[in-house]
Amino acid sequence: MCCRSTIKTNRLNNYCQKIDTRCLGLFPNEKISYKIFVLVIVTMGFLQNVQAKSDYLDSNLSSEERVSLLLKEMKLDEKIGQMCQYVGEASEGSIETQDTKLDYTLGLGERAGLIRDGKVGSFLKVASYREANILQELAAESRLKIPLLIATDALHGHGMYSDPATLYATEIGLASSFDTGLAEAVARSTAIEMRATGYHWAFSPNIEVVRDPRWGRFGETFGEDPYLVTQMGNAMVRGYQGENFNGQENVIASAKHFVGGGIAYNGVNGASADISERTLQEIFFPPFLGAIESGVYTIMPAHNDINGIPSHAHARYLTDLIRKQWGFKGFYISDWKDIARLQSVHKVVETEEAASQLAVLAGMDMNMHGPGFFDHIKSAVLAEKIPLHRIDDAVSKILYAKFQLGLFENRYVDKVQLEKTVLRKEHLDLALESARKSLVLLKNNNTFLPLATNVSRILVTGPGANNQTILGEWSRLQPEDNVVTVLEGIESVASNKTKVDFLPIDGYGEIDDSIIKKAAKMAAKSDVAVVVVGENSLRFDKDKTSGENLDRPSLELVGDQLALLKIIKSQGVPLVVVLINGGPIASEWLVENADAIIEAWEPGMFGGQAIAEAIFGLYNPGGRLPITVPRSVGHLQSYYNHKPSAFHRGGFYQSSRSPLFEFGFGLSYTQFQYSDLQMRKTVDPEADMELSVILKNTGVVAGDEVVLVYLNDKVSSVTTPVRKLVAFDRVHLKAGEKRKMKLNISKDHFKLLDVDMKIVLEPGEFEVVIGDDRLIETIIAH
C-alpha cells in the first residue's frame, strides 16, 4: 500500500522501504499487523503532507497556484513577516567594511534571526551583490525558504549600488527628450543590471506631476505636464517589468508617490498637499492610472497628507479608487517609515500600533522599515482588529511577485553573468544617447553655437565643470574613469590646436575673491568662456544644494555663481552657460546676458561628452523643456496649462508675467518647417483623432525635432486650460529631409469633468495647435 503512494525524496523512499519489509510478513500477528496498519495510515498522511508542502516549489505550476499552495503552509508569523521590509547596509554591518559572511550577519543583528525565522519579506538599501547573496542564504535557512525581494532606488540606472553601474540622464532629462522609447530602454537596461546583481524591485518611476519647482526632488520627476509624465511613466514601467515581470531580466517597478508631493506646502518634501478633487483628477491622478494600465506591480504612497488625510491611511484612494475602480492588482509599499509617521508626524492616531493597524486596514501591504510593525499587526490580527483575509490578500500579492520573478529557482547572483552584464556596451551607448537627447538649447545669440573646433582658447570653469554632479540624485560616486565630466568632454572634443584653460571652483557656496579675480583675468585672455553652474543633488555629497529633503527657497543660482558669471561676462568674452540642475534655474540676468545656454539637467555618466559634442556641433541638441521656467520664485505657481483667467488682469509689480521659458521650448542648430496638417474636422467620441503633418528640415545640418500637439477647448461649461499637450513625437531628419508625421489624439482628451464631476464630451469648437504655434486647426464636436 505504502509503495503505491508517490514518494519524491530519497529520505522518504528509504523510510517507505523499511515499512514495506515489515509488510511482507502478511500480518502473522494481528496486534502487530494492526499497529503496522495504523503506522502505514499515519505515514501516508505524513507523506501526503510533505508532498503538498513541497508543491509550491514546483516551477511547472503557475504563480497563482504556487501562491495558494504556499499560503496554506504559512503560519501567521510567516505571513506577517512577508509584509515587513528592512534595511541592509544602512547598518554598521556592511559587507563593504566587514568582509566575511559571519561579520555581516553579526552586523545585521536581530535582522539575521528574523530572516532565518521567516519574518522578513524584503530588504532595501542593500549595497552590493555580496550582501544580496548573504541575505538570500539566510532566507534559504528559514522553514519555508521564501526568498527575499531586494529593492533599490534605481531611478536612472542602478545608482545606489555600491559597485560601478551604468548611470543615465535623470528623469527630468529623459522627459526633455520627449522620447518614450529612450525612457523604456533606460528602464530596461537598468532592470537587466539590477537582476544581474541580485535586485528585483526598482522604487521607480517617480510619476508625480510637479507644480512647485522649489521641491528639491524635481529632477527625479518628468516635470509639470500630466500627459508627458504619464507617457514617460508608462514607458519606464514597461521597461522595468517587461512582459509580466517574468524571468531573469525583469524587475517590478513602483509608481511613486501617490499623490501630491509636487505641490506640497511651500514645495517642502512631505508637507501637506491641498488639492481640489478636480485638479487631482485632471492633473495628478492620470500618471498613476496610466501606470496601472501598464501593469505596474507596486505603488508607493506619498509622505504627505492629501486634503487632510495622510496618503498611507487613505482607504478611499488606496482601496476604493485605486484597487476597486482602477483595478490595481499589485501591492502597496509604504514610503520610508511613513506608517509610523501616521502617529509621530501626522498625528491622526495616538500610538504606533494604531498607525500600523490603520494603514493595513486602509490597504497598505508592506512596511518600509521599522521593527514595531510586525508586532503591531500580529496583535491586531489576534485581537481580530485586522481580519486574516486582509493579511492573506497582502501576502498573496507579495508572494506572487517572488514566483513571477523566478526567485524560488534563482535567488543567487552568478558572478560570471554579472561581469558580462553590468556596464556592457549597449548600456554605455544608451547612457550617451540619454545624455545627448536630454540636452535643451535655451539660448543661442546670433547662432553663437556651435563653436568652431579650432577656437584658439577656451576658459572652462564653474562648480559643476569637473565633477560628478552630472549624475544627479540617487547616484553614488562612480570610478572617475567611468564618468566624462564637462571639462573632460571639452578637452577630448576640442581640436588639439585649442588651448583649454581650467579654473576649478570648489563647491556651490561662497567663492573666494581671489578666485573671482583669477576668473576675470583668465576670461580676458579667452575667446570664449564655458561656465558650468547650477545645482548639486548628488545623494551623499556634503555640498549638495537640492535633492530629497533639501528644497529650494529660491530658484536663482545659489551661492556666488551669479557673481562668477557677471565678472566673466564683464571681460567682454562670449559666455556659454551650461546648466547642471534638477529643478529649473530662474535667473533673468543669465537669460539676458549669456550668449548661449545649454540646459543639460543631470545627464548621467557621459554628460560631459554629450555637452561638449553639442558645444562643438558634433551633436545637434533637440530636447524641449518639460516644465515652465518662471522668472523668479515669486512668480510661482507657473505652469503652461493654466486656466484662461491666470493673467487676465494686471501683472506683477515691475516684472513681466511671462515665464523665462515656456514648457516645450527648445532651440536647434537647424530649422524645421511644418505644412499640410491633415485631420478630420469633427470629433468622433468613439475614436481617437488621427492627424498627419509634413515636417521638413530646412537647415543645413541634421537634427531632431519634437513635434508637440496641443488642444484648446475654446468654450466649456467649466474652466479648462488654455492649452494642454495631447500628443508628441521626436524624429531625426537629415538636412533637407522631409517626413510625413502621424500622431494620434486620444478621444479622451476632448472630454472634460463637468460641474457634476462626470466625464462628458461637450459640443463646441476645439483648437489643435502644432509645431510651436505654426499650424492651428479648428475642429468641432457635435
**Site for ligand BGC, rule CB under 6 A:** 124, 153, 203, 256, 335-336, 548
Please report where in the chains the cell 573646433 appears, as a residue: 453
Write down the least CB distance from residue 550 to ligand BGC, Å: 12
- Residue 505, CA distances (Å) to 314, 396, 466, 477 in order: 47, 54, 9, 19
Write down the least CB distance from residue 335 to ligand BGC, Å: 5
User: Of the two residues 124 and 529, which places its CB atom closer to ligand BGC in the complex?
Assistant: 124
Write down the least CB distance from residue 322 to ligand BGC, Å: 18
Residue type, 771: G
Write down the least CB distance from residue 77 to ligand BGC, Å: 25
Nearest-angstrom CA–CA distance, 523 and 500: 12
C-alpha 43, offset from chain centre: 53
Nearest-angstrom CA–CA distance, 119 and 80: 7
Q: In the numeric block, which cell numbers belong to residue 516? A: 573671482
C-alpha 562, offset from chain centre: 32
User: Of the two residues 369 and 569, which places its CB atom closer to ligand BGC in the complex?
Assistant: 369
Write down the least CB distance from residue 154 to ligand BGC, Å: 10
Write down the least CB distance from residue 336 to ligand BGC, Å: 4
Write down the least CB distance from residue 255 to ligand BGC, Å: 11
Write down the least CB distance from residue 735 to ligand BGC, Å: 44
C-alpha 89, offset from chain centre: 22
C-alpha 617, offset from chain centre: 31
Nearest-angstrom CA–CA distance, 380 and 403: 28
User: Of the two residues 334 and 641, which places its CB atom closer to ligand BGC in the complex?
Assistant: 334
User: Of the two residues 256 and 436, which places its CB atom closer to ligand BGC in the complex?
Assistant: 256
Write down the least CB distance from residue 516 to ligand BGC, Å: 38
User: Of the two residues 335 and 599, which places its CB atom closer to ligand BGC in the complex?
Assistant: 335
- Cβ distance 577 to 448 under 8 Å? no
Write down the least CB distance from residue 273 to ligand BGC, Å: 14
How far separated are the first and last CA of the chain, in Å rounded?
78
Nearest-angstrom CA–CA distance, 129 and 551: 33
As a residue count, the chain comes to: 782
Nearest-angstrom CA–CA distance, 220 and 204: 9
Nearest-angstrom CA–CA distance, 455 and 227: 42
User: Of the two residues 335 and 551, which places its CB atom closer to ligand BGC in the complex?
Assistant: 335
Write down the least CB distance from residue 218 to ligand BGC, Å: 13
Nearest-angstrom CA–CA distance, 229 and 226: 5
Tell me which H or E stretch contains 738.
Answer: strand 738-745
User: Of the two residues 142 and 206, which places its CB atom closer to ligand BGC in the complex?
Assistant: 206
- Beta strand 596-599 pairing with 440-444: antiparallel
User: Of the two residues 336 and 606, which places its CB atom closer to ligand BGC in the complex?
Assistant: 336
User: Of the two residues 215 and 374, which places its CB atom closer to ligand BGC in the complex?
Assistant: 215
Tell me which H or E stretch contains 528.
Answer: strand 528-534
Write down the least CB distance from residue 124 to ligand BGC, Å: 6
User: Of the two residues 153 and 535, which places its CB atom closer to ligand BGC in the complex?
Assistant: 153
Minimal CB distance to ligand BGC: which residue?
203
Residues 339-344: contacts with CB under 8 Å, at least 24 apart? 339/312, 339/364, 339/367, 339/370, 339/373, 340/370, 340/372, 340/373, 341/303, 341/310, 341/312, 342/310, 342/312, 342/313
Tell me which H or E stretch contains 114.
Answer: helix 110-116
> Considering only CA atoms, which of 200, 62, 85, 77 is closest in space to residue 144?
77
User: Of the two residues 335 and 560, which places its CB atom closer to ligand BGC in the complex?
Assistant: 335
User: Of the two residues 335 and 595, which places its CB atom closer to ligand BGC in the complex?
Assistant: 335
> Considering only CA atoms, which of 566, 218, 601 is closest in space to residue 441?
601
- Cβ distance 432 to 328 under 8 Å? no
